[in-house]
Amino acid sequence: MIMSVDTIYRHFKKAWAETPHGTLSNAQLRLIAENCRRDEIAAIHFVIKLCNADLATCPDWDVEMQYLLYKNIHTLQRLLAQIDLLRKQ
């Protein structure tokens, strides 16, 4: 599982180098999705669950952390959507 998370992280790091302060485009997520197999997909679901758990325990005053967690969850959900689109082709 850890190797899969590392693999996804490397792909995200490369994509974010092109878009350092913005949201990743669907085209960028599609490039990452093309490299995702069963283990990476399982890792994505695992990381979403971790983010949701962190969100549940995040203090109300820590709005910045809440924002980052929601943003991560949203990006990973968009990545899963791109993976689904690739599988349907």
Nearest alpha carbon to residue 9 among 75, 56, 67: 75
User: Which CA distances in Å does 21 have to 24, 35, 54, 84?
Assistant: 9, 23, 23, 26
pLDDT tens track for 19-73? 767 788 999 999 999 989 999 999 999 999 999 999 999 999 999 999 999 999 9
Q: Is 61 exposed, middle or buried (0-12, 13-18, 19+ CB in 10 A)?
A: exposed
- pTM comes to 0.87
